[in-house]
Chain A
Amino acid sequence: DTEVTQTPKHLVMGMTNKKSLKCEQHMGHRAMYWYKQKAKKPPELMFVYSYEKLSINESVPSRFSPECPNSSLLNLHLHALQPEDSALYLCASSRLLLAEETQYFGPGTRLLVL
């Protein structure tokens, strides 16, 4: 089983709202990732967690706040977003944070900020 699940599938929010995206995997993977993907562009790395600790933050604005409550769950808390933050948000996981490890992606959350 190489499944990464994400909820919700779609999300519409206003610029003053607070919402959260959720990602879950039960493959025993210890590295989890958040990516942002705009239309016709490649996924861009936002955050990386390794063993539930934040390992990489790609200079993401503070209105995005990641959280890794346990080894299976990854959240992305959203607050005071801008319309340009509208995108597909992808979660991925890999067994470990190593160059030879495959990343498995979830189906994504399509976010629209009004």
Chain B
Amino acid sequence: QQPVQSPQAVILREGEDAVINCSSSKALYSVHWYRQKHGEAPVFLMILLKGGEQKGHDKISASFNEKKQQSSLYLTASQLSYSGTYFCGSRNAGNMLTFGGGTRLMVKP
């Protein structure tokens, strides 16, 4: 079953913050975050494995609450280069990676 992402789209001014949420109705073994720019391949951002785990990558960080089956991606002081579509992917017991519907992020100057 596909994870649910929210919001579907967000427009930011450069320097503003954003949060993208990802939730699943099924047990999550791991959550993977990717960013895809138009016409390009998805690029790996980070993977979260344990309940309550948090990770950071430059000004992008994420949390994973295994009990709530939710993950959130935090974009701090957004840059123009952050524009793109963000996908969360969840790995189930069969090790298949299923992607959420995506969140389209646009950062304006």
**Count of interface residues, chain B, beta-carbon cutoff 8 Å:** 24
Contact A104 B44, CB 8 Å, known A42-B102, A45-B98, A99-B91: yes
Judge if B100 is at the interface, Cβ distance under 8 Å: yes
**How far is it, in angstroms, between the C-alpha of A42 and the C-alpha of B32 when the chains are bound?**
13
- Within the complex, the shortest CB–CB distance from B107 to chain A, in Å, comes to 19
Contact A108 B41, CB 8 Å, known A99-B29, A102-B47: yes
Asked if A100 and B97 sit within 8 Å, CB to CB, the answer is: no
**How far is it, in angstroms, between the C-alpha of A44 and the C-alpha of B2 when the chains are bound?**
10
Secondary structure at the A interface, as helix, strand, loop or mixed, is loop
Asked if A56 and B97 sit within 8 Å, CB to CB, the answer is: no
Our pick among B30, B34, B99 for the contact of A99 (Cβ within 8 Å) is B30
> Which residues on A sit within 8 Å (CB–CB) of B95?
97-99
Judge if B42 is at the interface, Cβ distance under 8 Å: yes
Closest B residue by C-beta to A4:
B41
Asked if B87 and A42 sit within 8 Å, CB to CB, the answer is: yes
- Within the complex, the shortest CB–CB distance from A39 to chain B, in Å, comes to 10
29 A-B residue pairings within 8 Å (CB atoms): A33-B97, A40-B102, A42-B2, A42-B87, A42-B99, A43-B42, A43-B87, A43-B99, A45-B97, A45-B98, A56-B96, A90-B42, A99-B29, A99-B30, A99-B49, A99-B95, A100-B30, A100-B47, A103-B32, A103-B44, A103-B89, A105-B34, A105-B41, A105-B42, A105-B43, A106-B41, A107-B40, A107-B41, A108-B41
